[in-house]
Homo-oligomer: A and B are copies of this chain.
Amino acid sequence: MKQRIRIGMVGGGEGAFIGAVHRIAARIDDRFELVAGALSSDVERSKQSALALGIDIDRAYDTFTAMAVQEKQRTDGIQAVIIVTPNHMHFPVAQAFLQQGIHVICDKPVTRTLEEALALEQQVRESGALFALTHNYTGYPLVRHAQHLVQTGVLGTLRTIQVEYAQDWLTQKIEDTGNKQAQWRTDPSKSGLAGCLGDIGTHAFNLACFISGQDVEEVAADLTAFVLGRQLDDNVHTMLRFSGGAKGMLWASQVAPGNENSLKIRLYGDKGGLEWAQESPNELWLSAFGEPTQRLTRAGATMSPVANAASRIPAGHPEGYLEGFATLYLDIANAIDALEKGADINSVQGLIPSISDGVVGMKFIQAVLKSSEQNSAWQKVAP
């Protein structure tokens, strides 16, 4: 009979947006079973959330440490944990489960500081466990097809990359009016030193690297907290220089009225250009130089196998954010199954964002912060 992978969750209790997203994403392809949780730092709320989710009461833990230890001891203990806490808890939670050899699926940014990220990278390596960082936008089929087009030379040598991620929900100072999502994201003690930069700028950065296949070598940045009294940046302007010779610009903002979740990327090489927008994720615009622009569609003509593998239903039947997220979970399920069957840990990561991607993201954040402090002087992104 079909075996589903047993998973637990830390954070993500009732009312937390991202926890529900991970659970739906994990369900879509029916490869996981949620059986344990420490869903809230509030013990009572944690239990209620667990009940509501169909978790056995004896696996609704008061603390993530208890959960890590006790689940390890069960013969039917969880095989992987999903971490969907505020940023500052990613590190200790991940450590606790990695110590038990339990695979970790962790929201981004990976930690609050680069030091933590590096320590975690070391621990992941030693644990032999899978570490998956949910840069979910790489799960969109057309993002993977974009990567494929770059890899197969369709754009030629990349020259300029324009990436942006704009939202408007922090246009006003809602962290003062009880919005919990806003509170922790604008609080350095929970978010780290990067606000908008860490929350969405890292997604844009990751997307640019994922598709282009290039690292960012240097960055010049101008961060701003436009909302009076806000402690962390809410708008990010950067110029980029990539390892392969491309240059770029990255704009991230949470104070841009009219933008809901507008992640967009454009890449231009000497042979062609590409354009993709997260809010219209089922189409990808490809312009071979000198030819008419083509509208490529998910599951449509000319799609690569890698894109089709991330697609569930026929073209014209829109897939969305949850399906893109689910594709990461599908990849993770396949990786864990392969590990169970004895595959080497170094062979299963595939397109799953890794701890290294998390470390690179933290290095990028560090370089951006430093550049902005130094009046936008170019900073190397530590190799």
- Residue numbers of A with Cβ under 8 A of B are 1-2, 4, 17, 20-21, 23-24, 27-30, 51-54, 56-57, 155, 159-160, 162, 164, 167-168, 171-172, 220, 222, 224, 226-227, 235, 237-239, 241, 247-249, 251, 253, 255-262, 266, 268-273, 275, 278-282, 285-297, 300-302, 312-323, 375-378
Contact = CB atoms under 8 A, between A and B. Distances in A.
B312 A20 contact: yes
A54 B377 CA distance: 58
B159 A2 contact: no
B249 A53 contact: no
Nearest to A299: B260
Contacts of A275: 258
20 contacts: A1-B56, A20-B313, A24-B28, A27-B28, A30-B54, A172-B289, A220-B239, A222-B239, A222-B241, A226-B270, A257-B288, A257-B289, A258-B286, A260-B314, A292-B295, A317-B320, A320-B320, A320-B322, A322-B322, A375-B377
A314 B261 CA distance: 9
A222 B168 CA distance: 28
Given A312-B20, A321-B318, A258 B273 contact: yes
B313 A21 contact: yes
Nearest to A375: B378
A166 to B, nearest CB: 8
Most buried by B among A20, A155, A301: A301
A315 B260 contact: yes
A260 B292 contact: no
B287 A257 contact: yes
A171 B159 CA distance: 10
A230 to B, nearest CB: 12
Contacts of A172: 270, 289
A162 B251 contact: yes
B297 A301 contact: no
A292 B288 contact: no
Q: Which 6 A-B pairs have the closest CB atoms?
A: A260-B316, A258-B287, A261-B316, A2-B54, A318-B320, A320-B320
Given A160-B253, A318-B281, A294 B294 contact: yes
Given A54-B2, A301-B292, A222 B247 contact: yes
A241 B226 CA distance: 13
A257 B273 contact: yes
Contacts of A312: 20, 24, 322
A255 B23 contact: no
A322 B321 contact: no
Contacts of A237: 160, 239, 247-249
B247 A249 contact: no
Given A220-B376, A272-B258, A313 B2 contact: no
